[in-house]
């Protein structure tokens, strides 16, 4: 069975695919503006603590479910805890919704990459830059074209299969992505005013750390590690039998966090280098603020930057796409080709609406990150922590020792309480 579903043929490929899923728009686009809105270094500190003690156990819960059942999200829950299989539908649905609106932002980055190729940011002022963004988002043809091409690229990679498509693409692109972001960081740090950006990222201001900021840090950590909808579960169902899932998870989280910090170091010093630009600009930070910074730089810089955004977005979108396709393949018995086509067409529908109606876009983002992902994560830790025998979980993680006992304690007791607390904070 496992062979027929495809597999990642080495630890390196598995880690690159999982890191590919994790590292995406969440790191380059969302993380810097969240840091900007919630007080800089203090937010980063909370983010790292949340990632270690809450997100990592959730990651392991998903990994255990996927690896032990060798099925996608719905099948894994049905097999392990039949009463909770509704959460499997919810996970697949959430992955589908995220694929749709995520591909819209993927389309924007494609658009910006093409613009940067033709030197489109030269001599741009801040007012013009806001104009570029709103012109793009209000041009139906432009937004739809970017979105459709991006979604089509994701479909092609998933169509090529788990190993030859997803594995091969991630294995080549992820190392390149690190090189690209490091080049940008080095450049950003050499700008005048970079020190202020660094201070902002490194000196904590605890006065802004309220309940919502902490909830946002955990939400960001879940989003960044692709948790709560079953992406990690699905990818884990493709790892090799003897794979040490503990090590795979630790590497993935490490790469993801390092990359988010690098993105912060790429973006913030650049923002601070131009007077009058705001680190707390919010979602428009990368698409409005940065082009102004880029307008004064060597034109190669924005090309590398937006290529990095595009690649990072693609390696993530394929993980959600694959999850939905895997559900069709495992549960409905359709071929990969047909599954990919169906997901593509459905996402084309919802994504087009997201692309054209901002309120639908925000509603999709809000529902997935504040409700589906947290609820999904809660189900995963409850099912593994309370319905699976501890030795079976230990075997799947391939980890003995006290480290597992610590993870288990957090998974079973701390995660459920923390997740419920965050859900309440988010909905109040």
Residues in the site for ligand TRP, rule: CB under 6 A? Answer: 21-22, 24-27, 98, 223-224, 226, 229, 231, 316, 319-320, 373
H-state helical runs in 336-372: 336-356, 358-366
Three-state SS at 229: coil
- 8 A C-beta contact, residue 248 and residue 19: no
Least spacing, CB of residue 182 vs ligand TRP, in Å: 19
Comparing CB distances to ligand TRP, the nearer of 129 and 319 is: 319
H-state helical runs in 139-244: 140-159, 168-189, 194-202, 211-224, 231-236
Q: Cα 68 vs. chain centroid, distance in angstroms?
A: 24
Least spacing, CB of residue 299 vs ligand TRP, in Å: 26
The torsion angles phi and psi of 239, rounded to 5 degrees, stand at -75, 160
Comparing CB distances to ligand TRP, the nearer of 252 and 399 is: 252
CB count in 10 Å sphere of residue 332: 10
- 8 A C-beta contact, residue 294 and residue 302: yes
Comparing CB distances to ligand TRP, the nearer of 124 and 318 is: 318
- The span from the CA of 101 to the CA of 422, in Å, is 24
Least spacing, CB of residue 412 vs ligand TRP, in Å: 23
- The span from the CA of 260 to the CA of 256, in Å, is 6
Least spacing, CB of residue 22 vs ligand TRP, in Å: 5
Comparing CB distances to ligand TRP, the nearer of 26 and 302 is: 26
Residue 108 to residues 117, 151, 339, 348, Cα–Cα distance (Å): 14, 12, 26, 15
Q: Which two tokens stand for residue 393?
A: 């979980």
Comparing CB distances to ligand TRP, the nearer of 58 and 191 is: 58
Least spacing, CB of residue 225 vs ligand TRP, in Å: 6
Least spacing, CB of residue 232 vs ligand TRP, in Å: 8
Q: Cα 3 vs. chain centroid, distance in angstroms?
A: 27
- The span from the CA of 14 to the CA of 408, in Å, is 23
- The span from the CA of 69 to the CA of 154, in Å, is 26
Comparing CB distances to ligand TRP, the nearer of 223 and 272 is: 223
Comparing CB distances to ligand TRP, the nearer of 237 and 319 is: 319
Which residue minimizes CB distance to ligand TRP? 26
Least spacing, CB of residue 392 vs ligand TRP, in Å: 25
- The span from the CA of 265 to the CA of 238, in Å, is 34
H-state helical runs in 286-299: 290-295
Comparing CB distances to ligand TRP, the nearer of 25 and 44 is: 25
Three-state SS at 118: coil
Interior angle at CA 85, CA 416 and CA 11, nearest 5: 75
Least spacing, CB of residue 127 vs ligand TRP, in Å: 29
Comparing CB distances to ligand TRP, the nearer of 194 and 232 is: 232
CA atoms within 13 A on the CB side of 56: 28
Least spacing, CB of residue 131 vs ligand TRP, in Å: 27
């Amino acid at each position: 069975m496992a062979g027929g579903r495809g597999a990642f043929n080495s630890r390196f490929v598995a880690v690159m695919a999982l890191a590919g899923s994790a590292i995406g728009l969440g790191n380059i686009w969302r993380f810097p503006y969240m840091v900007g809105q919630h007080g800089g270094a203090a937010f980063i500190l909370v983010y790292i603590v949340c990632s270690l003690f809450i997100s990592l156990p959730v990651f392991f819960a998903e990994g255990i479910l996927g690896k032990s059942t060798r099925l996608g999200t719905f099948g894994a829950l049905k097999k392990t805890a039949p009463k909770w299989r509704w959460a499997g539908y919810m996970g697949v649905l959430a992955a589908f919704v995220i694929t749709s609106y995520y591909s819209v932002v993927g389309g924007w980055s494609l658009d910006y990459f093409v613009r940067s190729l033709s030197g489109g940011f030269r001599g741009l002022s801040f007012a013009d830059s806001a104009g570029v963004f709103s012109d793009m988002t209000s041009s139906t043809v432009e937004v739809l074209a970017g979105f459709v091409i991006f979604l089509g690229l994701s479909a092609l990679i998933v169509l090529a299969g788990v190993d030859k498509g997803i594995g091969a693409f991630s294995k080549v692109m992820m190392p390149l992505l690190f090189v690209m972001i490091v080049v940008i960081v080095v450049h950003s740090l050499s700008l005048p005013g970079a020190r202020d950006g660094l201070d902002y990222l490194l000196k904590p201001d605890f006065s802004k750390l309220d309940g919502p900021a902490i909830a946002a840090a955990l939400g960001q950590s879940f989003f960044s590690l692709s948790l709560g909808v079953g992406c990690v579960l699905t990818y884990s169902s493709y790892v090799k039998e003897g794979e040490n899932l503990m090590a795979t998870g630790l590497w993935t989280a490490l790469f993801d966090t390092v990359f988010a910090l690098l993105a912060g170091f790429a973006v913030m010093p650049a923002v601070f280098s131009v007077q009058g630009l705001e680190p707390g600009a919010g979602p428009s930070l990368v698409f409005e603020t940065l082009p102004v910074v880029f307008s004064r730089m060597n034109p190669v810089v924005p090309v590398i930057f937006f290529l990095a955004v595009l690649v990072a977005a693609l390696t993530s979108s394929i993980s959600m796409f694959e999850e939905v396709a895997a559900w069709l393949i495992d549960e409905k018995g359709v071929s990969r080709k047909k599954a990919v086509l169906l997901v593509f067409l459905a996402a084309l529908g919802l994504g087009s609406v997201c692309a054209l109606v901002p309120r639908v876009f925000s509603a999709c983002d809000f529902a997935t990150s504040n409700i589906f992902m947290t609820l999904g994560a809660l189900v995963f830790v409850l099912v593994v922590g309370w319905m699976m025998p501890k030795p079976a979980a230990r075997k799947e993680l391939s980890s003995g020792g006290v480290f597992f006992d610590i993870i288990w304690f957090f998974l079973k007791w701390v995660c459920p309480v923390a997740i419920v607390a965050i859900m309440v904070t988010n909905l109040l």
